[in-house]
Structure formats: C-alpha cells, structure tokens
Amino acid sequence: MCEPNHSINQYPSDDEGTGAPNESRIAFGLRKLGDYIKKIKGWFHLSILGSGHSESEEWAYTQSIWLPPAIQYEVAWWNRQVCFDGFHHHLMERKDEAMECATEYANRVSIGNLSQLRNFIEVSMIKSERPSSYLHIILSDLLNLKGRDILYRKLSSRFKNFWANLETKKGGIIKTALGMTRKREYLNDIWADDKLWIPEPKKLIIAS
C-alpha cells in the first residue's frame, strides 16, 4: 500500500556488498530533490510527496540519477506509525539502525508535529492523482467522531457534492480539512497530545 501513506525510500551511504561508497553518487544525483532528500547517520532518505515508492524511484531514473537497492517504509501519518514495507536481506544486521533513521526522517517530514503534518497533507493532496484517499483518511482516522461530523457538515455545506468536486475545489477543501487540525478536541488520541499544543494562559481571577 502506498498512498495515502507517506512512502519512504532509504539508501545506505556505503554499498553493503562491496563496501564501496555510495554517498558521493547519491548526494550528487539527489541534490536535485532539495528538501525531499535527507541524510541521517549512514542513510539517505527520499520521498516525493503525493506519490508512492515506485513513482519516487521512477522520477529519479528519468533524471538519470543512480540509486542502489532501496529499503522501503510506509508511514501511517494518522496514527504516527512507521513500518517496514520492503527489506533487502543483506541489510538485516542494520535493521534497527535503519528503522531509527527512517523514523527520524518521518518526524522531520510528516509526523513530528502538526505543522509538519499539515504541510505533508497539503503538498501531497495538491500533487497526488488520488487526493480523495487523503481526505478519506482524514475523515475516517485522523479526526475523532466529533471532528469527523463537523468536517463532513462543513464540506457538505461549502462544497456541494465535495467528493465529486474535489479536483475543481481542491484548494478550499484542503484548507477546510486542515483547519480541523488546529483544535485538539477534534483529533484522535495519537495526535491530541499535550506536548504538541501551547497551553492556554491562565486567566487572572480578581476577587470583587
């Protein structure tokens, strides 16, 4: 499963078979991707928002970028879970380190805080050929029952038949959906974490 997950391809900086350095070739080729490529410890990470694993690698190949075999991860941003999606047997000894680095990458791009999440959803929905898959997950998993009902009513009133009009009204629908993430009472428990919010200032009570 790729979209609407956050799909990550991970590449070792050194070739596991020969020990030859991959870093210079990967860094040279993937510099074209800017913020989409990040090196964490001994691993490079690549994701193209709004696409899956194969689309990311196909894009790299069309740009004549050489890539070694990838380790693949899927990040379920609605519940902040990072899972292996494909692993090369010769890298098994570094599995824990690889997962740790992929999780750090996910935290920097999609699940580290609500600002990252909002940016990930917005960019992904704009670029994706399947934006409805993201909206479906927002309604079914990211929001709790209260938030789900409120968002559905808002979308239904502002955008008649919003599912059918998602492509033509995409900007407004995205803005409305992301607005729901600014109130913790609407989010599922995984995201309704006090550490992610700035507490409201205490009101000064003056005795009369």
Q: What is the pLDDT of residues 128-139, one digit of tens each?
A: 989 999 999 999
Q: Which two tokens stand for residue 1?
A: 């499963």
Q: What is the pLDDT of residue 20?
A: 56
Per the CB < 8 A criterion, the answer to whether 19 and 144 are in contact is no
Cα 134 to Cα 132: distance, rounded to the nearest angstrom: 5
Phi/psi of residue 155, nearest 5 degrees: -65, -40
Q: 28-33 — which CB contacts under 8 Å span 24+ positions?
A: 29/60, 29/63, 29/64, 29/65, 29/66, 29/67, 30/60, 30/65, 32/63, 32/65
Q: pLDDT of 62-109, one tens digit each?
A: 555 566 778 889 999 999 999 988 766 556 677 889 999 999 999 999
Hey, CA dihedral for 58, 59, 62, 64, is it positive or negative? negative
The stretch 12-29 carries a mean pLDDT of: 64
Q: What angle do CA 5, 77, 155 make, to 5 degrees?
A: 90
Reported as a pLDDT band with limits 50, 70 and 90, residue 141 is: very high
What DSSP designation does 161 have?
T
